[in-house]
């Protein structure tokens, strides 16, 4: 949502009567009016036409906020936000009016995974503090409460004096199949898929708010700590329901040490706890945060400490938003990886539709799963798509080495001796001369990997070249920043063969679709038909399409594409069949 300048809103008298007041867009400072049903318009009565994007902008190469600026602004927005759990029947207009007394509202959004929830951003932090000051502690009755003054609030039931007035404005059109049918070509289907599945403005705000709420808790024990989101929540490849990856940033201790060395005139230093190594410190911190979440905060549950994995992680669910969260510590290289993927997503408008389509295809064919195992991950799939786009002639996207060459001095970043530098000003990247359609590229992807010599060659998106294998695992995708690591080390031979076989099948299906009659499914529809489950394959190894009726298959697909880890029956079913959580975690493959 954000700035309404992209919207066309006809302002009529009735709307003005329902106007809640003037607000300001948090992103660009644009002033506009907001109405009780959530609609917005500019402060003048003039109808604003939707912005016509120049060609450069449509190609995604226009000057825009850098990734780092965008992250900082989002965290700032989140710091000025509160989350309120409302009664089932709430008068949204009255509630917003009463909250406006605390400060100007910059943005709000009602949503309901289970209950009616309100995410509201004030223009200034004062608004949040004022609301917190006005809040009562609940009456404990015979129990004992811990006075936690967080920004997750409950609107008590006795305020529920208004009739039900829920708006349907935030409900997302759920019919994926209909959306695919409505398009007349594969390119349209792929673009429609992104629109249908991508994170909305509200999803993103909610994710940053969860980081901010978690940071409130963590700063109680370590005041300088920061919680940063990474992974698909910020790399532009996230779909609704994807997990929220966060890392607890303890700051750069080397910089800290250098800074303190400068203060030679001071004979004082902080008394701190020392650990044997960084890993032990990380495990300890995550364990303490896990205890905090479990015992102090009412909004986090299903806490699972996975501390012995290669990359120790704390897993939990933020129950008001139903978001599955993974918290790691000091994972700055992963944040650089997210920035790099985010840059690739912006350099050419075809990257996102292709990555979304391949991820959805793999999910539908049960090549990927919401639980870890010997199968390919979404991260590896994304790297496969990027590598393929580098191989096209002319290439659709540049290599990481090229992004590094374009970097300015301020972009220079070395983390734990790993050079993670890439250009932050994406307007410096020359748009590709490749004019292939999305359908061509999709087909090309399946052809490419349907015959790729995985046993001899590895994939490297830093150089954009295949290279001789350096390990004996079935598939080698070199980590672009830490080249001695293989991102796909977890993938076993059976899963690789299955991926290759299904790629060949998909290529054939796309080839044959022109012979199909109009009432048969075609294009992306055929590709998204369900494959056998991991469990089924583990027992019979068959690669054939699951023999369920077509409508059912699409319903299943819809559920699997939309479900989160927790709510996914397939994930639960597969848990018994996969490695225990401790043995397979993010980056563990390497
Ligand atoms: P989703 O499946 O939508 O959650 O995609 P994702 O990109 O968020 O993947 P995931 O949650 O598995 O991992 C989050 C981030 O961790 C990725 O975007 C990568 O930056 C990083 N990551 C994941 N797996 C690996 C790995 O095997 N090696 C390395 N180096 N980084 C990884
Ligand atoms: Mg993720």
Would you say how long the chain is, in residues?
590
Model confidence at 268, in pLDDT bands (50, 70, 90)?
confident
- Is pLDDT of 162 > 50? no
CB 212 within 8 A of CB 75: yes
CB 282 within 8 A of CB 290: no
- Quick one: how far is CA 426 from the chain centroid? 21
From the CA of 241, which ligand is nearest? 1
Per-residue confidence (pLDDT) for residue 161, from 0 to 100? 45
Per-residue confidence (pLDDT) for residue 238, from 0 to 100? 95
* Residue 554 in tokens: 């699409």
Whether residues 396 and 513 share a domain: the answer is yes
Model confidence at 481, in pLDDT bands (50, 70, 90)?
very high
Instruction: Give how many domains the chain has, as a whole number.
Output: 3
Nearest C-alpha neighbor of 87 from the set 113, 110, 117: 117
Q: Is the CB of 243 under 6 A from ligand 1?
A: yes
Question: Cα(82)–Cα(96) distance, rounded to whole angstroms?
Answer: 12
Whether residues 306 and 371 share a domain: the answer is no
Per-residue confidence (pLDDT) for residue 408, from 0 to 100? 94
Per-residue confidence (pLDDT) for residue 28, from 0 to 100? 47
Nearest residue by C-alpha to atom 31 in ligand 1 = 587
Per-residue confidence (pLDDT) for residue 489, from 0 to 100? 94
- Is pLDDT of 584 > 90? no
CB 387 within 8 A of CB 464: yes
How far is residue 156 from each of residues 143, 255, 589, measured CA to CA in Å? 18, 47, 47
Q: How far is the CA of 327 from the centre of ligand 1 (A)?
A: 12
Question: Cα(176)–Cα(245) distance, rounded to whole angstroms?
Answer: 26
- Is pLDDT of 590 > 50? yes
From the CA of 372, which ligand is nearest? 1
- Is pLDDT of 544 > 80? no
pLDDT above 70 as % of the chain: 72
Q: How far is the CA of 133 from the centre of ligand 2 (A)?
A: 36
At 122-141, the pLDDT tens digits run 999 999 999 998 888 887 77
Average pLDDT over residues 38-48: 39
Per-residue confidence (pLDDT) for residue 308, from 0 to 100? 92
Question: Cα(436)–Cα(455) distance, rounded to whole angstroms?
Answer: 29
- Quick one: how far is CA 234 from the chain centroid? 5
Q: Give the number of the atom of ligand 1 that is nearest the alpha carbon of residue 588.
A: 27
Nearest C-alpha neighbor of 76 from the set 122, 30, 31, 108: 122
Q: Is the CB of 229 under 6 A from ligand 1?
A: no
Q: Is the CB of 487 under 6 A from ligand 1?
A: yes
Q: How far is the CA of 230 from the centre of ligand 1 (A)?
A: 9
From the CA of 370, which ligand is nearest? 1
Average pLDDT over residues 157-183: 59
- Is pLDDT of 58 > 50? no
Residue at 507 is within a domain: yes
Whether residues 457 and 375 share a domain: the answer is yes
Cβ atoms < 10 Å from Cβ of 402: 18
Whether residues 249 and 390 share a domain: the answer is no
Cβ atoms < 10 Å from Cβ of 415: 17
Residue at 108 is within a domain: no
Whether residues 305 and 358 share a domain: the answer is no
At 87-127, the pLDDT tens digits run 877 888 889 999 999 999 999 998 876 558 899 999 999 99
Per-residue confidence (pLDDT) for residue 430, from 0 to 100? 95
Q: Is the CB of 232 under 6 A from ligand 1?
A: yes
Per-residue confidence (pLDDT) for residue 567, from 0 to 100? 38
Higher pLDDT, 486 or 144: 486
Question: Cα(513)–Cα(508) distance, rounded to whole angstroms?
Answer: 9
Per-residue confidence (pLDDT) for residue 256, from 0 to 100? 55
Q: Is the CB of 568 under 6 A from ligand 1?
A: no
Q: For all residues of the chain together, what is the average pLDDT?
A: 78
Asked which of 61, 76, 104 is the last residue of a domain, the reply is: 61
Torsion of CA 189, 191, 192, 198, to 10 degrees: 140
Residue at 576 is within a domain: no
CA angle 201, 586, 558 (to 5 degrees): 50
CB 117 within 8 A of CB 320: yes
Q: Tokens 């027992």 — which residue?
A: 539
Question: Cα(492)–Cα(164) distance, rounded to whole angstroms?
Answer: 54
Cis before 394 (ω within 30): yes
Q: Is the CB of 589 under 6 A from ligand 1?
A: yes
Q: How far is the CA of 242 from the centre of ligand 2 (A)?
A: 6
Residue at 226 is within a domain: yes
Model confidence at 370, in pLDDT bands (50, 70, 90)?
confident
Residue at 513 is within a domain: yes
Start-end of H helices in 220-264: 253-262
Whether residues 271 and 392 share a domain: the answer is no
Model confidence at 519, in pLDDT bands (50, 70, 90)?
low
Model confidence at 10, in pLDDT bands (50, 70, 90)?
very low
| DSSP assignment letter at 317 | E
Asked which of 320, 340, 371 is the last residue of a domain, the reply is: 320
- 467, containing H or E segment: strand 465-468
CB 145 within 8 A of CB 137: yes
Residue at 474 is within a domain: yes
Domain CATH code at residue 420: 1.10.1410.10
Domain CATH code at residue 293: 3.30.460
- Is pLDDT of 143 > 60? yes
* Residue 387 in tokens: 């590598």
Q: How far is the CA of 379 from the centre of ligand 2 (A)?
A: 8
Q: How far is the CA of 293 from the centre of ligand 2 (A)?
A: 20
Residue at 556 is within a domain: no
Q: How far is the CA of 86 from the centre of ligand 2 (A)?
A: 29
* Residue 153 in tokens: 């609030």
Asked which of 43, 61, 79 is the last residue of a domain, the reply is: 61
Cβ atoms < 10 Å from Cβ of 589: 22
- Is pLDDT of 486 > 60? yes
- Which of 586, 588, 589 for mutating ligand 1's site (highest number of atoms within 8 Å of CB)? 586
Q: Is the CB of 378 under 6 A from ligand 1?
A: yes
Per-residue confidence (pLDDT) for residue 435, from 0 to 100? 96
Q: Give the number of the atom of ligand 1 that is nearest the alpha carbon of residue 239.
A: 3
Q: Is the CB of 211 under 6 A from ligand 1?
A: no
Residue at 73 is within a domain: no
Whether residues 282 and 222 share a domain: the answer is yes
Average pLDDT over residues 13-32: 45
Most confident of 234-243, 248-257, 504-513: 234-243
CB 507 within 8 A of CB 450: yes
CB 548 within 8 A of CB 530: yes
Its domain, for residue 53, covers 6-61
Q: Give the number of the atom of ligand 1 that is nearest the alpha carbon of residue 341.
A: 18
Whether residues 367 and 221 share a domain: the answer is no
Q: How far is the CA of 94 from the centre of ligand 2 (A)?
A: 37
Nearest C-alpha neighbor of 543 from the set 586, 500, 479, 489: 500
Q: Give the number of the atom of ligand 1 that is nearest the alpha carbon of residue 378.
A: 2
- Is pLDDT of 167 > 50? no
The pairing of beta strand 152-154 with beta strand 81-86 = parallel
Average pLDDT over residues 261-279: 76
Most confident of 6-10, 152-156, 164-168: 152-156
Whether residues 380 and 503 share a domain: the answer is yes
Longest dimension (CA), the chain: 83
H and E: helices and strands count for the chain: 20, 16
- Is pLDDT of 459 > 60? yes
- Is pLDDT of 170 > 80? no
Whether residues 241 and 364 share a domain: the answer is no
Whether residues 411 and 514 share a domain: the answer is yes
Whether residues 275 and 370 share a domain: the answer is no
- Which of 242, 245, 311 for mutating ligand 1's site (highest number of atoms within 8 Å of CB)? 245
Average pLDDT over residues 423-436: 95
Model confidence at 6, in pLDDT bands (50, 70, 90)?
very low
Q: Is the CB of 586 under 6 A from ligand 1?
A: yes
Model confidence at 156, in pLDDT bands (50, 70, 90)?
confident
pTM flag (> 0.75): yes
Q: Give the number of the atom of ligand 1 that is nearest the alpha carbon of residue 326.
A: 11
Q: Is the CB of 324 under 6 A from ligand 1?
A: no
């Amino acid at each position: 949502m954000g700035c309404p300048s992209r919207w066309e809103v006809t302002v009529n008298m009735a709307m003005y009567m329902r106007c809640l007041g003037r607000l300001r867009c948090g992103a660009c400072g644009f002033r506009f009016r907001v109405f009780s049903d959530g609609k917005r318009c500019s402060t003048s009565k003039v109808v604003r036409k939707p912005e016509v994007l120049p060609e450069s902008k449509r190609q995604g190469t226009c000057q825009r906020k850098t990734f780092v600026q965008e992250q900082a602004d989002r965290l700032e927005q989140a710091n000025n936000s509160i989350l309120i759990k409302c009664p089932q029947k709430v008068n949204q207009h009255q509630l917003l009016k009463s909250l406006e007394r605390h400060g100007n509202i910059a943005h709000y959004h009602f949503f309901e995974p289970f209950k009616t929830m309100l995410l509201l951003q004030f223009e200034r932090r004062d608004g949040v503090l004022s609301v917190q000051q006005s809040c009562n502690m609940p009456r404990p009755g015979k129990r004992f409460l811990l006075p936690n003054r967080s920004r997750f609030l409950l609107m008590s039931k006795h305020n529920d004096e208004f009739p039900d007035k829920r708006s349907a404005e935030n409900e997302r059109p759920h019919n994926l199949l209909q959306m695919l049918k409505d398009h007349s070509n594969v390119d349209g289907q792929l673009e429609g898929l992104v629109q249908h599945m991508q994170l909305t403005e509200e999803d993103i705000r909610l994710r940053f708010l969860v980081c901010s709420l978690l940071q409130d808790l963590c700063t109680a024990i370590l005041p300088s700590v920061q919680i940063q989101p990474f992974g698909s929540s910020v790399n532009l490849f996230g779909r609704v329901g994807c997990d929220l990856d966060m890392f607890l940033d303890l700051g750069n201790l080397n910089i800290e040490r250098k800074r303190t060395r400068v203060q030679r005139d001071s004979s004082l230093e902080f008394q701190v706890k020392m650990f044997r190594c960084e890993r032990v410190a990380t495990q300890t911190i995550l364990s303490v945060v896990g205890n905090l979440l479990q015992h102090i905060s009412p909004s986090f549950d299903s806490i699972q400490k996975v501390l012995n994995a290669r990359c120790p992680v704390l897993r939990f669910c933020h129950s008001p938003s139903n978001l599955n969260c993974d918290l790691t510590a000091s994972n700055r290289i992963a944040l650089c990886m997210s920035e790099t993927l985010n840059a690739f997503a912006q350099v050419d408008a075809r990257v996102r539709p292709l990555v979304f389509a391949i991820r959805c295809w793999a999910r539908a064919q049960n090549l990927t799963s919401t639980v870890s195992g010997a199968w390919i991950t979404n991260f590896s799939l994304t790297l496969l798509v990027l590598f393929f786009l580098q191989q096209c002639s002319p290439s659709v996207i540049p290599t990481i080495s090229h992004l590094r060459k374009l970097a300015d001095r301020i972009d220079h970043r070395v983390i734990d001796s790993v050079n993670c530098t890439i250009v932050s000003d994406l307007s410096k990247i020359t748009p590709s001369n490749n004019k292939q359609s999305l359908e061509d590229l999709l087909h090309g992807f399946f052809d490419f990997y349907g015959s790729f010599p995985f046993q001899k060659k590895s994939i490297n998106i830093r150089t954009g070249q295949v290279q001789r294998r350096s390990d004996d695992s079935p598939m080698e995708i070199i980590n672009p920043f830490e080249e001695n690591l293989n991102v796909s080390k977890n993938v076993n031979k059976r899963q690789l063969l299955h991926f290759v076989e299904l790629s060949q099948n998909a290529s054939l299906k796309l080839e044959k679709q022109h012979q199909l009659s109009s009432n048969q499914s075609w294009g992306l529809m055929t590709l998204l038909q369900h494959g056998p489950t991991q469990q089924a394959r583990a027992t019979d190894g068959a690669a054939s399409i699951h023999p369920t009726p077509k409508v059912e298959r699409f319903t299943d697909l819809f559920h699997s594409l939309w479900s989160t880890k927790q709510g996914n029956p397939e994930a639960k079913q597969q848990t018994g069949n996969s490695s225990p959580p401790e043995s397979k975690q993010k980056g563990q493959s390497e």
